[in-house]
């Protein structure tokens, strides 16, 4: 188990992303995935009020509703660390105080719980004073509706400023950053952003850990994959560096007798500041490959090979 930042949140070293619940995974499939993940020792779930508002006929909150129904049917609320987000729902975007408070109540209702363990600011909101945002989060924590807060999709300057204001004003402070980070897209995090996280004792909970599915190994040159997410992975097939990474992953996965995805996530988990990579699954078989990553510790030679391929 890994600690998130300087908090008391102890989590399984892999976070189950649930953005596909209500999208490519219906409630039956989602329940199977959640059962398999928690049955294998997983306890960290990540969702958002905006999942899956991009689907015609959906209004957002579908993923939260499915998770809430699963927790109610299984009696598992106290067994999971539950994270959701505010600020990205169409028609309810931004981090104003009133929006945060209303969105939190809506998420609690959909999730069927009285508290959120980790509440993410989904996107930075330059139009709202940082102090207003932090005061709203601070109030929710004092009311017991939220335990901790995190920042998602923040740049280094705004994240550092937010942390400084929290310290100066005595307000709740972000304990973690959720950001785009994987073996084929390292430059988005490594550098100034990672330094702010490390210098302030935060943890990284990276999303797109499998590069929109490319790092599962199922997308290959000349292959056709029937998936709603295939278009997102296709551009990597045009990158020599991405293909070199896949070749290195293949080599290690074969030697370890595990899926390529497990190696890619194990590399992420080995990076400084990372507490738990986020990955999603829509079948029990996919969950098994994800869980394998939590049992893996890559050797120095394997890390060197992957770092060189992804440089």
- Active-site residues, by number, are 51
CA distance 36 to 38: 6
287 by DSSP, 3-state: which?
Answer: helix
User: How do 146-152 and 15-17 pair as beta strands?
Assistant: unpaired
Q: Give the closest residue to 213 by CA, choosing from 275, 283, 121.
A: 283
Residue-wise DSSP of 105-171: HHHHHHHT-S-EEEEEE-S--TTS-HHHHHHHHHHHHHTTSEEEEEEES--HHHHHHHHHHHHHHT-
- CB distance 151 to 125 below 8 Å: no
CA distance 210 to 309: 16
- CB distance 171 to 130 below 8 Å: no
CA distance 301 to 311: 15
CA distance 252 to 272: 21
User: Any bridge partners for residue 174, and if so which?
Assistant: 149
CA distance 68 to 64: 6
200 by DSSP, 3-state: which?
Answer: coil
């Amino acid at each position: 188990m890994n600690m998130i930042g300087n908090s008391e949140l102890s989590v399984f070293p892999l976070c189950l992303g649930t953005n596909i619940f209500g999208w490519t995974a219906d409630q039956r499939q989602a329940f199977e995935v959640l059962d398999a993940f928690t049955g294998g020792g997983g306890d960290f779930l990540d969702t958002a009020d905006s999942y899956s508002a991009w689907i015609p006929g959906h209004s957002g909150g579908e993923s939260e509703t499915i998770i809430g129904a699963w927790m109610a049917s299984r009696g598992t609320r106290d067994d999971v660390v539950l994270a959701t987000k505010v600020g990205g729902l169409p028609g309810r975007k931004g981090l104003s105080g009133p929006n945060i408070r209303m969105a939190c109540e809506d998420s609690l209702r959909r999730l069927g719980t009285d508290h959120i363990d980790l509440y993410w600011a989904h996107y930075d909101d330059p139009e709202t004073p940082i102090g207003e945002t932090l005061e709203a989060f601070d109030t929710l924590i004092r009311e017991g509706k939220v335990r901790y807060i995190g920042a998602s999709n923040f740049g280094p300057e705004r994240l550092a400023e937010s942390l400084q204001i929290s310290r100066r004003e005595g307000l709740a402070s972000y304990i973690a950053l959720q950001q785009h980070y994987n073996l084929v897209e390292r430059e988005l995090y490594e550098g100034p952003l990672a330094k702010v996280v490390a210098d302030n004792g935060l943890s990284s909970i990276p999303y797109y850990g499998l590069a929109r599915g490319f790092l599962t190994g199922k997308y290959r040159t000349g292959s056709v994959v029937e998936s709603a997410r295939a278009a997102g992975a296709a551009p990597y097939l045009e990158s020599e560096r991405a293909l070199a990474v896949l070749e290195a992953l293949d080599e290690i996965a074969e030697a370890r007798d595990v899926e390529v995805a497990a190696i890619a996530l194990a590399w992420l988990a080995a990076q400084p500041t990372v507490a738990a990579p986020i990955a999603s699954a829509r079948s029990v078989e996919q969950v098994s490959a994800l869980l394998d990553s939590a049992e893996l510790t890559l050797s120095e030679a394997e890390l060197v090979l992957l770092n060189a391929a992804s440089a």
